[in-house]
Amino acid sequence: MRSILIIVSLVSLVALILPSILFLAGRMDLDKAKWIMLLATIIWFVTATGWMWKEPGKTQKDEAVIP
């Protein structure tokens, strides 16, 4: 399950950047690119949450500076 989530989430990242590349190449209009990016965003947050949530969050590195 975890492997599937990782694969789907990585594919969603490709789907996130691809529309802007296609838009730059003149192969896609901007409205369609925006919708695909939104879809990819939703898929990323759903699937990545599935396998990244249990990892500890990014912590504040400067906290150690504080007494």
Partner 1 sequence: MSEERHSQQTQAGDEFEREPVPQNRLLGFKSFIGMYAGEHCAGTELMIGPLFVAAGVSAFDLVVGLIAGNVLAVLSWMFLCAPIATRARLTLYYQLEKICGRQLVTLYNLANGVMFCFLAGAMVTVSATALGVWFKFPMPELSDLYPNSVGWVIAVLACGAMISVVAAYGYEIVSKVANIAAPWMVLVFIAFGLVGLKQFIDATGSEVHNLTDVWTLAKTHIWQGGAPHPGRVKFTLWHVMFFAWFCNMAMHIGMSDLSVLRFAKKSWYAVASGTGMFLGHFLAWLAAAILYAFQMHAEPGNTKVLPGPLAYQAAGLTGLICVIIAGWTTANPTIYRAGLAFQAVVPRSSRFRVTLITGAIATVAAMFPALAMRLLDFVALYGLVLMPMGAVVFVDFWLIPKLGLRGSYAEFSGRHFNWAAFAAWIVTLAVCLAIVFIVGNWTLYFVALPGWFIASVVYIVLSRFYQKQVHPAAAL
Quote the tokens at residue 64: 């150690």
Per-residue binding string, partner 1, 8-47, x by CB under 8 A, is -----x--xx-xxx-xx-x---xx-xxx-xx-xx--xx--
Residue 3 near partner 1 by CB under 8 A = no
Exposed/middle/buried for residue 50 (C-beta within 10 Å: 0-12, 13-18, 19+): middle
Residue of 46, 22, 47 lying closest to 36 (CA atoms): 22
- Closest contact distance (angstroms) between CB of 2 and partner 1 is 13
DSSP for 24-50, please give it: HTTSS-HHHHHHHHHHHHHHHHHHHHH
Residue 1 near partner 1 by CB under 8 A = no
Contact residues for partner 1 (CB under 8 A)? 13, 16-17, 19-21, 23-24, 26, 30-31, 33-35, 37-38, 40-41, 44-45, 48-49, 52-53, 55-67
